[in-house]
């Protein structure tokens, strides 16, 4: 298993009390498979991704990413694990306005201290894999919303992550483009062997994912494998 959450509980301060965002959540995601996470707003979906990404430390429970128990790591080691082993696709692409599509990806190599020039080949290969081979030199304002989301996804794959975490990638897209992005994510999950978790509140097309986890009030209430 590439991503393992075991009995994870996460609380946030809430006045004098604590709000339970995740309540004893356990989830295992094998390499090369995609688990969708569904549930109403506020049910803990983004919190689950944040914990899996080591962006927040749970109060209790264990998070194992690519064989590494994250609790054993210091902040700097967690940051390195995140950079090297985890790809994160947020809802909003957050592309840098002055960089071309290829440069957005090359910048990831720079952040990891890898040679940026050598990264161009890999950037172009990934842009090709997301159907943007001919858009490599465009800046964000020269791309459609769907194309920007594809750049966002390609960028998350730049450092060959073992775990790919995607938060509502289709929410800003129409039905057809949303389906195409899901197809793309499933294909990339298979070819790049990532353990992928995708939050969505679009229940369409969920028959094509490997498993669906339902969240409610911080609890994982159902896990259906498809």
Tell me, by CB under 6 A, how many residues bind ligand ADP: 11
Angle at 106 between CA 2 and CA 129, to 5 degrees: 60
Cβ-contact 82, 55 below 8 angstroms:
yes
47 binds, among ligand ADP, Mg ion, none (CB under 5 to 8 A by kind): ligand ADP
Under the binding rule (CB under 5 A), the answer on residue 170 touching Mg ion is: no
> Any contact of residue 44 with ligand ADP (CB under 6 A)?
yes
Closest CB to Mg ion among 46 and 212? 46
- Member of 43, 70, 149, 189 binding ligand ADP (CB under 6 A): 43
Structure tokens at 145: 């919303």
Applying CB under 6 A, does 19 fall inside the site for ligand ADP? Answer: yes
CB of 12 to ligand ADP, least distance (A): 3
Minimal distance in Å, beta carbon 52 to ligand ADP? 12
Residues that bind Mg ion (rule: CB under 5 A) add up to a total of: 2
What radius of gyration do the chain's Cα atoms show? Answer: 17
End-to-end CA distance of the chain: 18
Residue 122 binds: one of Mg ion, ligand ADP, none (C-beta under 5 to 8 A by kind): none
Residue 164: CA count within 13 A, CB half-sphere: 33
Is 47 one of the binding residues for ligand ADP (CB under 6 A)? Answer: yes
22-41 binders of ligand ADP (CB under 6 A): 39, 41
Among ligand ADP, Mg ion, none, the one that 135 touches (CB under a kind-dependent 5 to 8 A) is: none
> Of 2, 20, 46, 170, which lies in the binding site for Mg ion, with binding defined by CB under 5 A?
46
The candidate with the shortest Cα–Cα distance to 25, out of 4, 40, 8, is: 8
Q: Is 204 in the site for ligand ADP (CB under 6 A)?
A: no
In angstroms, what is the minimal distance from the CB of 17 to Mg ion? Answer: 22
3-state helix, strand, coil in the chain (%, to 5): 35, 30, 35
What's the half-sphere exposure (Cβ side, CA atoms, 13 Å) at 195?
21
| DSSP helix/strand/coil, 142 | helix
- Kindly state whether residue 46 participates in binding ligand ADP, applying the rule CB under 6 A: yes
Give Cα separations from 70 to 11, 53, 80, 106, 127 (angstroms). Answer: 18, 10, 11, 27, 31
Which residue ranges make up the site for ligand ADP (CB under 6 A)? Answer: 12, 19, 21, 39, 41-47
């Amino acid at each position: 298993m590439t991503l393992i959450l075991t009995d994870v509980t996460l609380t946030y301060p809430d006045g004098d009390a604590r709000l339970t965002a995740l309540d004893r959540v356990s989830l295992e995601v094998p390499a090369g498979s995609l688990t969708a996470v569904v549930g109403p707003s506020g049910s803990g979906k983004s919190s689950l991704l944040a914990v899996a990404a080591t962006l927040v430390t749970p109060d209790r429970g264990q998070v194992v990413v690519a064989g590494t128990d994250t609790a054993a790591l210091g902040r700097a080691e967690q940051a390195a694990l995140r950079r090297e082993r985890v790809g994160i696709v947020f809802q909003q692409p957050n592309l840098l306005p002055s960089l071309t599509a290829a440069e957005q990806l090359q910048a990831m190599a720079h952040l990891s201290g890898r040679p940026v020039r050598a990264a161009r080949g890999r950037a172009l290969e990934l842009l090709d894999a997301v159907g943007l081979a001919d858009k490599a030199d465009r800046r964000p304002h020269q791309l459609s919303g769907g194309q920007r989301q594809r750049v966002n996804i390609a960028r998350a794959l730049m450092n060959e992550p073992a775990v790919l975490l995607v938060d509502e990638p289709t929410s800003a897209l129409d039905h057809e483009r949303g389906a195409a992005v899901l197809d793309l994510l499933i294909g990339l999950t298979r070819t790049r062997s990532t353990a992928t978790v995708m939050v969505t509140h679009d229940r369409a097309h969920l028959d094509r994912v490997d498993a669906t986890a339902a969240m409610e009030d911080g609890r994982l209430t159902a896990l259906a494998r498809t």
